[in-house]
Structure 1
């Protein structure tokens, strides 16, 4: 997908579902951290937390007890509609959801103690600007080799980058923005999806295969993939992630 196509896709999914994959039946072996658990560990009860690319806000709402005030932002109107509805249903009074571009944060300098970003683009300079001195930035991103067997089966990911390209780019941008103590981590976990419907939901709600379902042979390719990668534990693929932490 190009940037415009992804924004349209992301906004449509936001209105349909938020960024909620909790109904997908999947087990994972080899994950080395829980990202929002890591964020929570860095928070104190008196802290202000900013979550960039909060999606439907489901994960951020789960952190409500960890900080004084939590603000989730997303550029997608559809995602923010879902996030605001989720916040209202939760009754969490110390959480706010705002539509905002991560490249132009509408906050004063040195406001937040912690800034998090999961599976979304960010501006290292803006993240640094809104953090207090000594504040922590954490991001988890999807590696290029994520869902590698699934991508190979369809063979139409036009923009192929060497695994590690994005990780190295972000580290360089954080260093240039003035962050210190930059650390990076990665894992390549094995995932097992229980049913055909679980894999189908994933493909329809995540930008793994461009234009999935629009081409004539997509479902035949999917059927063949499922037969080839079905195991006693479920339908096997991989989840490759990297996490970066940095201090202002």
Structure 2
């Protein structure tokens, strides 16, 4: 089974949990994305990999229209219910691939993508497609989990994410994002780093990780070096992991 089918299967069966997920619906990073955007009310906005629809929902009152795109039909269904339930009716829902966007060149004023690119197997194609569908001077607002620059920390975080969620591909370093975007023709206008605290049980349960795998993953955390435990703020009580922290980058890039 290829990764895109993995993504559809994993997110299809967990679609409802993404609408109610505190990290997705309450994150202060979402407010930062709104704050960073330059909005007049006339913009056409594309939200790539809309998931539960939180980003599309947040922007809908402030732009002309939103196209919410996702690879998974079940996700689009829960996103539509959520967004329309909030009274936003200027949102269109489209099934499609982030790495092969089904839109003409220079269609959108803004493209958003939040907590999703770590699932994309060919992130360079995604970046190229965002550049293609944006108008000149268009804004790309990106928000995703990243890894520290240290290779050991990088390997640890990507391993635990893949263990929890087989549809995870790679969380990139901050420096890798900046390099990839600039090489594609974007100019980075603003970026911020956020710490992301995770409740361990909720983090595992969101993807319905089987108990046997959860126990193995817990042991992997417990046996990690003190350096890793310190970096990821791993908290342990009674030989059980209770929480840890990752990080995210929130940035605005302009198509030049």
Q: TM-score, normalised by structure 2?
A: 0.69
CA gap of 1:113–1:239, structure 2 versus 1, over 3 A, is same
Matches within 5 A, 1:134-149: 134-144=137-147
Q: Aligned residue for 1:124?
A: 127
Pick from 72, 96, 99 the counterpart of residue 95 of structure 2. 99
Q: Aligned residue for 1:11?
A: 12
Pick from 57, 80, 86 the counterpart of residue 61 of structure 1. 57
Whose RCO is larger (CA < 8 A, sep 6+)? 1
Matches within 5 A, 1:1-248: 3=3, 4-14=5-15, 16-22=16-22, 34-42=29-37, 43-121=39-117, 123-144=126-147, 165-181=172-188, 183-188=190-195, 191=197, 193=199, 199-206=200-207, 211-215=209-213, 217=215, 227=237, 235-248=242-255
CA gap of 1:89–1:229, structure 2 versus 1, over 3 A, is farther
Alpha-carbon distance in structure 1 between the residues aligned to 2:218 and 2:191: 39
Q: Aligned residue for 1:196?
A: none
Alpha-carbon distance in structure 1 between the residues aligned to 2:253 and 2:31: 16
Q: State the Cα distance separating 1:11 from its structure 2 match.
A: 2.2
Q: CA contact under 8 A between 1:118 and 1:139: conserved in structure 2?
A: yes
Q: TM-score, normalised by structure 1?
A: 0.71
Structure number with the higher helix fraction is: 2
Q: State the Cα distance separating 1:79 from its structure 2 match.
A: 0.8
SS of the residue corresponding to residue 82 of structure 1 reads helix
Structure 1: give runs of 5+ residues left out of the alignment.
194-198
**After the TM superposition, which parts of structure 1 deviate over 6 Å for at least 4 consecutive aligned residues?**
none
